[in-house]
Structure 1
Amino acid sequence: MLTVTRSREYLTDSFVGTHEGCGIFIPANRMLYQFVSDNPSNTDRDQIASKALIIGRSLAASAERRTIKGERLSSADFFHGLADAISKSGLEEVLDFLPQDGTISRSTSTEVHKAHAFLCSAITGYTQRDCSSFASKYLHFHRPNHFPMMDSRARTALKWVAEEEGWVFAFTTSRSAKNYPEYVRIYLNAKDVFEADLGRPLSLRQMDNILLNRYDNYI
C-alpha cells in the first residue's frame, strides 16, 4: 500500500491541467486526439504514415531518418516505408486487447508492454534506431488511457519522484524500449501517490502534465 509521505506543492490545478493537456497545448492536443480517432487503422498505410508524421513532429519525437540502409530518402518515402513496417507488425491485433473505454492497470500492463514492444521492434527493424519515445507517444494517441508517454523530460521528473519516495528506478537510457515496463511501473506508483494526495483520479495525460510541468519549472 502506497502512502502519502509529504506535501507536494506542485500538484496545483495549473500543473495538473486537463485530460487534453495544459494551457495553449490543449487545442493542439485535442486536434491530435481527434485526428487519430478519425484515422484509427494500423494496417492502412496512408493513415499510419500521416499519423506518424504529425505525432512525431508535433511532439518532438519523430522517428524520421533521411538515410535508411545507406539509401537517401525523401520524407514521403521514409514515412511510406515506416507505415509499411508498422502495418505488418501485428500492432492492430494487440491493440484490440486494449478497449478504448478501459484504462491501464497493473493487471493489464502486460498487453501495454507487448504493444509497445511490437511497435518498437517494427520501427527499429526499419530505421535501425531506438524509437521508444516516439512509440509511446504514437500509442498514447490511439489509447489515451493505456499508454503513458515517455521521453527524457518525463523520465527525469519521474526519477525525482522515485528518489523522493525511496523507490528503486532502474531505468537506463540504453536499449530503452526494453525499459518501458520499468518506466510504467514507477509511473503507476507515482500516479497512486498523486491521486492519494489530491483525493481524485488522474488521467494519463494529467500525469504527463504534472511530470512535464515539474521538469520545465525545475521543482
Structure 2
Amino acid sequence: MPSMKKYSSDIINAMIAQATSPQKDDYLNNVLYEMCKKSPKHTDIGVIYAKLSIIGRTYAAALERTSKKEKKSNIIFSTAISKIIKDGELDALINEARMVKLPISLEFSSVDLNAISKILAPHAYLSRVLSQAAEIGKVSLSSKYLHFHLPDLYPIYDKYSRKNISKFTSSTGKKFEYKNCEESYAKFFIRCLILKNSLMKNHKKKLSMRQIDNLLLGKNPTF
C-alpha cells in the first residue's frame, strides 16, 4: 500500500504550521478563485481567453509559451478555445468531477478509483486540447486552470511540486491503472491525495489542496 514517508512529529507539525499560515500570494489567489467562481462555464470566447491568459501568465505557464517560435499566440488560443466550445465536453466533465467525493482513505477501493478517474478526466481532456494547440505539453497549465475552478479537487502540478512530492510519499504502487488520463499528473494527484489523507489520519490535520501546494513548495508565511 502506498504510504507517507516517515518524519518526526515535530518536523511534520512545523511544516504544517508553515503551510497553513497566511501567505503573501493569498490575495492574488483569491482574485483568481473569484474570477472562476463568477464565470465557471466554457461557452464564451472572451471568458475562456481571459481565464486561460490570466491564470497561465500569473503562474508562469502561459498557453502561448511554445517551442514553435513561428506559431503565433492568437492561433494557439483560437485553436484551443474553438475546440473547447465546439466539443462542449469540458463543462460536462467538470460538472461530473464536481459531484465526486474525494477519497479519504489510504488504501483505495474500486469506488475510490472510479472517483479518482472522474476527477482526472477533465485534466486529461484539457491537457490534450491545450497541448495540441500549442504543440507542447500543457499538463501544468491544465492543473493550475482546473485548480482555480475546483480548488478542493485539483493539486497544482509543476516541476517543483513534482520533484518535492517524493520527499513525502512513496510511489503509487502497481495497483493503479492510468487509463484515459494524463499519466504524469495522475501519479502526482494520487501521491498528493495520499499525503493529504495521511496528514488527516496520522496527524489530525486537514489541509486543503492549496495548503498541500504550500507544503510541497516549502512556502514561508507572511507577517
TM > 0.5 fold call: yes
1:15 pairs with 2:18: yes
Letter in 2 for 1:189: I
* Shift of residue 85, structure 1, vs aligned partner: 2.6
- Cα deviation per residue 1:153-178 (whole Å; 9 max; x = unaligned)? 1111101213xxxx2268xxxxx932
Contact (CA 8 Å) 1:11, 1:210: kept in 2 or not? no
User: TM-score, normalized by length of structure 1?
Assistant: 0.79
Partner of 2:7: 6
Partner of 2:93: 94
Partner of 2:209: 204
Q: Percent identity?
A: 25
Partner of 1:190: 195
Gaps of 5+ in 2: 104-111, 174-180
1:26 pairs with 2:26: yes
Where in structure 1 do 4 or more consecutive aligned residues deviate above 6 Å?
Answer: none
The separation in 2 between residues aligned to 1:3 and 1:53, in whole angstroms, is: 36
Name the structure, 1 or 2, with higher relative contact order (CA <8 Å, separation 6+): 2
Contact (CA 8 Å) 1:4, 1:196: kept in 2 or not? no
97, 122, 126: which one pairs with 2:129?
122
User: TM-score, normalized by length of structure 2?
Assistant: 0.77
SS in 2 for 1:168: coil
Partner of 2:106: none
* Shift of residue 198, structure 1, vs aligned partner: 3.4
Distance 1:65 1:168, change over 3 A: closer
59, 69, 78: which one pairs with 1:80?
78
* Shift of residue 40, structure 1, vs aligned partner: 0.9
* Shift of residue 10, structure 1, vs aligned partner: 5.0
Distance 1:143 1:17, change over 3 A: same
Contact (CA 8 Å) 2:140, 2:158: kept in 1 or not? yes
Partner of 1:173: none
Distance 1:10 1:60, change over 3 A: farther
Distance 1:67 1:202, change over 3 A: closer
Distance 1:33 1:84, change over 3 A: same
* Shift of residue 150, structure 1, vs aligned partner: 0.7
Letter in 2 for 1:49: Y
* Shift of residue 4, structure 1, vs aligned partner: 8.0
The two structures, once aligned, show a CA RMSD in angstroms of 2.8
Matches within 5 A, 1:125-204: 125-162=132-169, 167-168=170-171, 177-204=182-209
SS in 1 for 2:8: coil
SS in 1 for 2:188: helix
Partner of 2:178: none
Distance 1:54 1:23, change over 3 A: same
The separation in 2 between residues aligned to 1:141 and 1:104, in whole angstroms, is: 17
